[in-house]
Amino acid sequence: MPLPSALGTIQTTQLPTQGSLYFNGLTGGSGTNFVVNNNSSLALGSGNFTIEWFQYMLQSTTAIRIWAKGSWAADIHDIAVTIEGSENTYSFYLWINSTTPFLGINMAGTLIENIWHHFAVVRNGDTFTVYRNGVSIGTTTNSITILNTKNLRLGNLLQTNEYDLPYKGYITNFRWTPGLAIYTSNFSAPRFPLVKLTQTSLLLLSQTSATAFSDAAQTSAIASTTNTTFTTISPFKSLYAIASGTKPQLGTTDMSLLYSGNEDDNFIGVGLPFNFRFYNNNYSTAFVGTNTYITFGSGSTQYLSLSLNPAGPPLPAFHLGSGDHSWQQLWARSTSNTCRIRYVGVNSAGGFGTQIIYEITFFRQLRADDDIYVELVVGTHGKTNGPFGMTNGGTTATNFGTVSQNSSYVIILDSNGNYKNLLLGSYISVTSS
């Protein structure tokens, strides 16, 4: 049930349907946009305010306009937000009363595409702060009075005879709240749909197809939408749940065979269908070694002095009872949200030892502030006392103990890919892949 708070109503139960608006990223008359006629309820002036939204950006253009009141060249922004650059090098720009950025923030190293982010632009007194997923990423101080002369447009520039600079992706829960600095320090990004506060003048929830283009605050005039469509993609839905029990191995059904034979001291790079964040870095390939470790950044053939701390090999890695082993088969299967790898080998270099079988699954992070899940299902294992854990490739490591045969684990990483927890006798239940 909703609970009252000083800021209004906090939704504590997930509503049955959530969604978002899809913007196609095209230029000119084919581009999608959502226009709110300018009116006095949108005025920000010199007072406090909070403008926030969730976005799932699919691809970059030169200087993406997420939303803007006004346009860059012809009639100057009242206020606007752009994200400019490319993946891993994006910058966030806030524009106010000018064609010169009011605040520029380097977001290098942050994945912006193909993942949900919550952004909030907040004015508290003369201090302007931008929060990404509840964490301040930039601030400035200015006593400026913000104009209120232009329509508000989501998805591209106001005038289609300019550059357009379209946004491709999804937006939902866009809330415009003059007169209130909702966030004055770092916070946990909302996990439930936003609600109308007393001062909220615009709230675009897009919870159902029937209300996709409605203002839940009912104080601003929706002028038009062009080619914008409702989708059920939402930052408030989770595809994964942790279940108790030992998960049976899934076997090779629907998997691709990457190697068959007898291979010693080698590795194969398995491309991931998403970026996997591990020890504060992003990786798109998992290098599966014959010696029962998986490294990131590059592969390794090291078979002696295998350890977690100091790391041997000196690479970020999961060690899964590592040792001088060989494999006979390596399999992989990817969906949009998962990548499962199956290793079949033995605990010797020549292919005649005790069998080792494991399946490891990497799960895509849906929100940038979500924990990250890795599932490990172990069958027989010929070296249960080999190094078992994770390492950053240097001297930061977590020892998981001893590998348990015929068991399943969930490895939980925080949103930056650092160790958080290990659950034995658990697995991930996927509601959709």
pLDDT score, position 62: 66
Residues 318-329 pLDDT 10s = 999 999 999 999
Mean pLDDT of the residues in the chain: 90
Report in angstroms the alpha-carbon separations of 64 from 45, 78, 80, 119, 168: 25, 17, 11, 15, 9
Higher pLDDT: 348 or 339? It is: 339
Average pLDDT over residues 140-166: 82
Length of the chain: 433
List CB contacts of 160: < 8 A, sequence separation 6 or more.
Answer: 28, 29, 31
Q: How confident is the model at residue 431 (pLDDT cuts 50, 70, 90)?
A: confident
Residues 388-423 pLDDT 10s = 999 999 999 999 999 999 999 999 999 999 999 999
Question: Is the confidence at residue 5, as pLDDT, over 70?
Answer: no
pLDDT score, position 32: 85
319: exposed, middle or buried (Cβ count in 10 Å: 0-12, 13-18, 19+): buried
pTM reported for the whole predicted model: 0.89
What is the rounded CA–CA span in Å between residue 204 and residue 54? Answer: 11
pLDDT score, position 76: 74
Q: What is the rounded radius of gyration, in angstroms, for the C-alpha atoms of the chain?
A: 25
Average pLDDT over residues 228-248: 91
Handedness of CA 113, 299, 316, 384 (dihedral sign): positive
pLDDT score, position 169: 93
What is the rounded CA–CA span in Å between residue 221 and residue 224? Answer: 9
Residues 57-89 pLDDT 10s = 997 666 788 999 987 665 678 999 999 988 889
Question: Is the confidence at residue 11, as pLDDT, over 60?
Answer: no
List CB contacts of 218: < 8 A, sequence separation 6 or more.
Answer: none
Q: What angle do CA 285, 288, 292 make, to 5 degrees?
A: 150
Report in angstroms the alpha-carbon separations of 359 from 292, 323, 344: 11, 17, 9
CATH numbers and ranges of domains, the chain = 3-231 (2.60.120.200), 240-430 (no CATH)
Q: How confident is the model at residue 26 (pLDDT cuts 50, 70, 90)?
A: confident
Strands 407-413 and 397-399: unpaired
Question: Is the confidence at residue 152, as pLDDT, over 80?
Answer: yes
Q: What angle do CA 136, 139, 142 make, to 5 degrees?
A: 150
pLDDT score, position 139: 98
The enclosing H or E element of 4 equals strand 3-5
List CB contacts of 161: < 8 A, sequence separation 6 or more.
Answer: none
Residue-wise DSSP of 68-79 = EES-SSSS--SE
